[in-house]
Amino acid sequence: MNLLGVLEISGSALTAERQRAEVLASNLANAQTTQTAKGGPYQRQLVIFGTRKADSSTFASAFAGFSDRYAQGVEVKRVLPDPTPPVQRFEPAHPDADSQGYVAYPAVNPIEEMVNLMGAARSYELNVAAVQATKNMISQSFQILS
Amino acid sequence: MSWIDTPIIEKLGEYLDLAAFRQTLIASNLANVDTPGYRTRDINFEDEMQRAEGRASSDAAPPRAFEVAGLMERPDGNNVSLDRESMLLARTQLQFRLGVELLRQEFQSLSTAIKEGS
């Protein structure tokens, strides 16, 4: 029940949304990648979010005794490869073409990735607004003393 | 209660605690806006304020948070409403500010009394 811990919650969301944006950017960047270290085309990655209990090891939460069971941050639980099979395109001249002349391209839809990227950016903004609000409340509480 | 803790100061303390607690829930709701299956949680501010009035200040039972009913649910099971949370964020900020201002006034009048009105 304290404001320093609230910053922790919003901070966890900033980290998670940034990681999501990174993975989405990587999907976009590799939309045409046909060669990877594992072999075969790039596989689209999916980010799975989950709730996270407030971390009691950080300074702010330990300092303030933050053990509130209602405080739930967010974190990236897993990054999974999308099981959708690659898109086959007929390009016989391509060096990665198979015996029938088809090249396997990643199943990445740039429009879908862009929409998700916008969602991540908006959620990031939203949590920045929450951080600002909490910061204002903390600095106002200092005025009780003055 | 010592001589300096007037009833108003105690009550304003409860008020600020409650506003800070609600801020925790709002921040949690906003942080989990993209978490599948997350349910919006909140407290009933008026009920908690009345509950705080009826008990001794040493008995610090935490406020009761509940899952908010009647919100539109997305296909992934998440029912966080951005409009609702943004509105509450603004409202809680103002409530906190009000509490701080009133508390400051109260301390100032105490200070005036100590200085014999000078």
pLDDT per residue as tens digits for the range B1-43 = 576 778 888 889 889 989 999 999 999 999 999 999 999 999 9
Question: Is B30 within 8 Å of A68 when comparing Cβ atoms?
Answer: no
pLDDT value of residue B1: 56
pTM of this structure: 0.84
The ipTM is 0.83
The DSSP string of chain A is: --HHHHHHHHHHHHHHHHHHHHHHHHHHHTTT----TTSSS---EEEEEEEEEPPTTSHHHHHTT---TT-EEEEEEEEEE--PPPEEEE-TTSTT--TTSEEEE----HHHHHHHHHHHHHHHHHHHHHHHHHHHHHHHHHTTT-
Q: Does B77 contact A at CB distance below 8 Å? A: no
Provide the pLDDT for residue A67. 47
Provide the pLDDT for residue A57.
59
Choose from A137, A143, A145 for mutation: most chain B CBs within 10 A: A137
Domain positions in chain A are 2-142
Convert the pLDDT of each residue in A67-122 to its tens digit. Answer: 456 778 999 999 999 999 999 999 999 999 999 999 999 999 999 999 999 999 99
Whether residue A61 has pLDDT greater than 60: no
Model confidence pLDDT, tens digit, residues B98-107 = 999 999 999 8
Q: Check pLDDT > 70 for residue A66.
A: no
The answer to whether the Cβ–Cβ distance between B32 and A74 falls below 8 Å is: yes
